[in-house]
């Protein structure tokens, strides 16, 4: 059965638009799948109704990688459609459908959160700051012309936007194919890629860029300054909070507390 991948990938962009607190992304997933289900079961309204009910069960995964789930579930729906006249086989395959949908969604949610939320989003932000620094854009530098400043800000935003969204689009498109053509041995295409290596490489790039921004920022800020107690205090405070931000996640302390503490400390320091 030929499937218009672009059509269903586009529909999957609305997955979060129907989010609800009871069954999360279930309506969004059904919205994405509905034309496909209608095509499969148009001749058997009773099984179409059952397929709709089946796809309205609780569903939750990472939106950027939902196409892996979409491809796997579509493939299994084909299996159900072929055996719907054999009651026993149908029920067995329907149970298999539930397992596939749940396990792939959970795995994709874990991988997607690590890759996109925890790695790629921060990396895109760091890259934006790197572009600003390399473009010699300093908010406190009166010599920077307004038109140049605006251009570099636009460039930085563009780098951040494309750094995040291009991998998302590639993952959505490639993930659909891998999920649809994959088997249980490859966990529906998920094991085709070394996700841990990808995440490690991206995190390393982010750490290098963060170090560059930090060192380059210190150089610019303190360039030509006389090192005194005030400068040393600021460097120590800034370094301390950066080091704390690395370990705070391991202590299960929300980042908002570190932010509030840093604001409080820096406000106190400015009084003296």
Q: Which of 28, 33, 30 has its CA nearest to residue 14?
A: 28
Query: What residues contact 50, with CB distance under 8 A and at least 6 apart?
Result: none
Three-state helix/strand/coil letters over 113-156: HHHHHHHHHHHHHHHHHHHHHHCCCCCCCCCCCHHHHHHHHHHH
Query: How much of the chain exceeds pLDDT 70, in percent?
Result: 80
Kindly state whether residue 38 falls inside one of the protein's structural domains. Answer: yes
Q: Which two tokens stand for residue 78?
A: 């084909």
The confidence band for 231, taking pLDDT boundaries of 50, 70 and 90, is low
**What DSSP designation does 55 have?**
H
Q: Is the pLDDT of residue 19 over 60?
A: yes
Handedness of CA 119, 120, 121, 123 (dihedral sign): positive
pLDDT in tens, 173-213: 999 999 999 888 888 889 888 999 999 999 888 888 888 87
Q: Which of 14, 116, 122 has its CA nearest to residue 64?
A: 116
130 φ/ψ angles, rounded to the nearest 5 degrees: -65, -45
Kindly state whether residue 150 falls inside one of the protein's structural domains. Answer: no
Q: Is the pLDDT of residue 255 over 80?
A: no
Q: What local confidence, expressed as pLDDT, does residue 140 receive?
A: 42
Kindly state whether residue 37 falls inside one of the protein's structural domains. Answer: yes
CB 96 within 8 A of CB 61: no
Does the pTM surpass 0.75? The reply is yes
Q: What is the count of structural domains for the chain?
A: 1
Kindly state whether residue 253 falls inside one of the protein's structural domains. Answer: no
Helix (H) or strand (E) holding 266: helix 255-269
Q: Is the pLDDT of residue 251 over 90?
A: no
pLDDT in tens, 137-154: 444 444 555 456 677 778
How far apart CA 104 and CA 190 sit, in angstroms, is 9
Q: What local confidence, expressed as pLDDT, does residue 164 receive?
A: 92
Q: Is the pLDDT of residue 58 over 80?
A: yes
- Which residue segment(s) compose the domain that 70 sits in? 5-105
Please give the residue that has the higher pLDDT: either 256 or 29.
29
Kindly state whether residue 56 falls inside one of the protein's structural domains. Answer: yes
Kindly state whether residue 51 falls inside one of the protein's structural domains. Answer: yes
Three-state helix/strand/coil letters over 74-101: HHHHHHHHHCCCCHHHHHHHHHHHHHHH
The confidence band for 117, taking pLDDT boundaries of 50, 70 and 90, is confident
How far apart CA 185 and CA 182 sit, in angstroms, is 8
Kindly state whether residue 243 falls inside one of the protein's structural domains. Answer: no
Q: What local confidence, expressed as pLDDT, does residue 170 receive?
A: 93
Q: Which two tokens stand for residue 163?
A: 């750094």
Kindly state whether residue 69 falls inside one of the protein's structural domains. Answer: yes
Q: What local confidence, expressed as pLDDT, does residue 197 receive?
A: 92
């Amino acid at each position: 059965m030929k499937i218009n991948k672009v059509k269903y990938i586009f529909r999957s962009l609305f997955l979060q638009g129907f989010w609800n607190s009871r069954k999360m992304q279930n309506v969004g997933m059904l919205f994405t799948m509905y034309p496909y289900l209608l095509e499969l079961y148009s001749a058997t309204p009773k099984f179409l109704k059952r397929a709709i009910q089946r796809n309205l069960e609780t569903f939750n995964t990472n939106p950027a990688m939902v196409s892996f789930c979409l491809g796997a579930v579509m493939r299994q729906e084909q299996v159900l459609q072929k055996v719907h006249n054999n009651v026993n086989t149908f029920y067995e395959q329907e149970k298999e459908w539930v397992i596939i949908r749940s396990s792939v969604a959970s795995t994709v949610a874990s991988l997607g959160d690590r890759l996109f939320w925890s790695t790629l989003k921060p990396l895109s932000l760091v890259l934006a700051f790197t572009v600003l620094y390399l473009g010699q854009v300093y908010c406190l530098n009166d010599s920077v012309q307004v038109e140049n400043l605006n251009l570099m800000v636009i460039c930085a935003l563009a780098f951040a936007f494309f750094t995040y969204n291009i991998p998302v689009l590639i993952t959505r498109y490639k993930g659909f194919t891998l999920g649809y053509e994959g088997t249980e041995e490859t966990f529906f295409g998920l094991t085709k890629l070394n996700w841990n290596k990808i995440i490690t490489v991206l995190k390393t790039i982010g750490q290098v860029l963060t170090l560059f921004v930090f060192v380059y920022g210190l150089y610019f800020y303190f360039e030509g300054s006389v090192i005194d107690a005030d400068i040393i205090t600021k460097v120590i405070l800034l370094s301390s909070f950066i080091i704390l931000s690395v370990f705070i996640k391991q202590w299960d302390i929300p980042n908002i507390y570190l932010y509030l503490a840093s604001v409080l400390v820096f406000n106190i320091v400015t009084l003296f």
